[in-house]
Amino acid sequence: MEITRESIGVLTETIKINFSEADYTERVQKTLKDFQRKANVPGFRPGKVPFGQVKRMYGKSVLLDEVNKLISESLEKYITESKLNLLGHPLPNHEKNDTIDFDTQTSFELCFDIGLAPEVELTIDKSINVVNYSVQADNDTIQKYIGELQERFASSVDTNEIGVGSTISFDFTELDENGNSFDNAHTGLGRLDLNQISEDLQNQLIGLKIDDIKVLNFAKLLHDDKKAAAILQLEDADAAAVQSNYQVQIKSITTRVKAEMNEELFKKVYGEDVTTEEEFMTRLLAEAHQQFQPTADKVFLEDTIDVLLEKAALPLPDAFLKRWLIETQKETVSAEDVEKNYDLKYANGTRWEILEGKIILENNLTVTREDIKKKLLNDLITQYFPYLRGKEDELDERMNSFVENMMKNEKEVKRLYDQIMEQKLIDFFKETISTETKSVTINEFIEIMNTKKKYNVHDHDHSHHDHEHDHDHEH
């Protein structure tokens, strides 16, 4: 067997494997003898089928199987020993391979096209400058946050008159067509939050006081029989009682009053250590800034990637990659899609994958299993158990067991790995390159994000740069 390689274009080569009969005969003979021992052919006892009969029956298929195995093994060994850094995996050269006739030839040449990753020559230092946005909350946003907090910590106060936003309880009694109560009339105690009912019904109730009596038709005022039935505690929305008029007597009225901007609110929001409005506003501004920081970091990373891609100017085996994408992902990607999106989506994604791998390797950026467990635990506490923040050492076995079970979910572990590595890259770039901090308002930052390209190369699926090869030759 002889294996050679020749260049056919930019970072594109053809590997040629020349087989002679001696390269595969022993493997074919051994497999056929195994078939002979196991063959069950009518007219012959098991294991007693003549070798010639077995060869006529299975010879060609065994030959093709063994040649394919030999191709795969030889290619893999050659690529490893030659230390070839491939993009994608070898593709059969159909133009040359399809002329082979295994019925008549005993020696033949099989060709496979490969795409090579470019050499990276890139220095990452303070000569690279990228804007780092610092998002500051404007007064309107802060006032909105304060209003939301005042609503969240509002208190309920008993009042004598129904107003906007009141919650009321009332006795109700079903009336007949003459406006009178009757035996077996539907009665009960209802409760209503005026914020959750129709404007028509609100208008009938606002201004009423304790013990005031009003006749209402809930179905007509709500324009919804199901909601009327729910208020009247009727299980069947189609019941005749839903359409009846009801005498309503107000029993209690409570109104939610926004929390005042005082020490009591400050402590409820941030704890005992925040007692003044100045401390409260400082924490609120920091919180508002922190809310946008992850997004600002992503913008910083994308801008850094753009600068690095331009600076590195990596060439690619474009024709090979387009063919590889079309042939290996034909179930999900069309030739038109590849051609249309190649430069921005596929090519830049591949370039960044190459750069990212070099940066991670050369700067020893690693993500350990403990890193992933720590982030998983942090995410769980943030989302479900915020009261446990700072008490991680006190978590019981049930929580630790839950984390261990989540670590068995490969998809979740991969997601967390990517998030942690992304943050490590952001931290590395902020320490290594020059950054110009630029303060912007939330609205200005949103406008900046809207002008960014919709496809982010950092979200690229890392599937082009691999070494798992499938070399089966179709005959």
pLDDT in tens, 423-462: 999 999 999 999 999 999 888 888 888 887 544 555 544 4
Does the pLDDT of residue 224 top 50, yes or no? yes
State mean pLDDT over 249-258.
92
Which residues, 6 or more positions from 221, have their beta carbon under 8 angstroms from its beta carbon?
A: 198, 200, 201, 204
pLDDT in tens, 299-330: 999 999 999 999 999 999 999 999 999 998 88
Give the per-residue pLDDT at 392: 58
State mean pLDDT over 51-60.
84
**Confidence class of residue 395 from pLDDT cuts 50, 70 and 90?**
low
State mean pLDDT over 280-293.
86
Give the per-residue pLDDT at 455: 45
Give the per-residue pLDDT at 466: 47
Give the per-residue pLDDT at 457: 53
| Between 383 and 330, residue with greater pLDDT | 330
State mean pLDDT over 32-60.
82
State mean pLDDT over 141-153.
89
